[in-house]
Amino acid sequence: MTSGLWLVCTLVAVIGSAYALLAATLVARFAAGKKPALRDAEDVTLLKPLHGSEPELDSNLNSFCAQAYAADIQMVCGVQDPCDPAILFVQNLRAQFPNSDIRLAVGSKPNLGNPKIANIINMMPNAAHDVLILSDSDMKVEPYYVAEIVAALQQPEVGLVTCLYRGRAVGGIWSRLAAAAVDQHFLPSVVVGLHFGLAQPCFGSTIALRRETLQRIGGFDAFADALADDYEMGAAVRRLGLKVAIPPNTLGHTFADASFSQMISHELRWARTIRLVDPMGYAGSIVTHPLPFALAALPLSGFSAIAFMILAATLASRLFVPIQVERLPGGGKSALLLSPLRDLVSFAVFVASFVPGSVSWRGRRYSVETDGSVTPL
Across the chain, mean pLDDT equals 90
How far apart, in whole angstroms, are the C-alpha atoms of residue 345 and residue 327?
A: 24
Taking a C-beta distance cutoff of 8 angstroms, is the pair 323, 315 a contact? no
Residue 27 has pLDDT above 90, yes or no: yes
How far apart, in whole angstroms, are the C-alpha atoms of residue 293 and residue 63?
A: 42
Confidence of residue 336 (pLDDT cuts 50, 70, 90): confident
How far is the CA of 307 from the CAs of 14, 158, 318, 373, in angstroms? 11, 49, 16, 45
Looking at residue 50, its pLDDT comes to: 95
Per-residue pLDDT of 106-126, as tens digits, reads: 987 776 678 889 999 999 999
Q: What is the largest CA-CA distance in the chain?
A: 72
User: DSSP assignment, residue 36?
Assistant: P
Residue 12 has pLDDT above 70, yes or no: yes
* Mean of pLDDT values over 324-337: 84
Helices in 131-216 by DSSP H: which ranges?
A: 145-153, 173-181, 187-195, 211-216
Instruction: List, in order, residues 6 or more apart from 271 with CB less than 8 Å away.
Output: 282, 349, 350, 352, 353
Confidence of residue 265 (pLDDT cuts 50, 70, 90): confident
Nearest residue to 349 via CA among 270, 281, 294, 293? 270
Looking at residue 370, its pLDDT comes to: 53
Percent above pLDDT 70 for the chain: 93
Residue 333 has pLDDT above 90, yes or no: no
* Mean of pLDDT values over 265-276: 82
How far apart, in whole angstroms, are the C-alpha atoms of residue 178 and residue 346?
A: 10
Taking a C-beta distance cutoff of 8 angstroms, is the pair 291, 314 a contact? yes
Nearest residue to 361 via CA among 86, 179, 113? 113
Looking at residue 312, its pLDDT comes to: 95
Looking at residue 354, its pLDDT comes to: 85
Percent above pLDDT 90 for the chain: 71
Name the E strands within the chain: 44-49, 73-79, 101-106, 131-134, 139-140, 158-161, 164-169, 207-210, 243-245, 250-255, 359-361, 364-368, 374-376
Looking at residue 103, its pLDDT comes to: 97
Higher per-residue confidence, 240 vs 265: 240
* Mean of pLDDT values over 205-212: 97
Phi, psi for 301 (deg, rounded to 5): -95, 0
Residue 285 has pLDDT above 70, yes or no: yes
Residue 201 has pLDDT above 60, yes or no: yes
Looking at residue 368, its pLDDT comes to: 57
- Judged by DSSP in three states, 211 sits in helix
Taking a C-beta distance cutoff of 8 angstroms, is the pair 292, 286 a contact? no
Residue 371 has pLDDT above 70, yes or no: no
Taking a C-beta distance cutoff of 8 angstroms, is the pair 262, 175 a contact? no
Looking at residue 189, its pLDDT comes to: 92
Among the ranges given (24-33, 117-126, 262-271, 277-286), the one the predictor scored with the smallest mean pLDDT: 277-286
Among the ranges given (3-17, 162-176, 267-281, 336-350), the one the predictor scored with the smallest mean pLDDT: 267-281
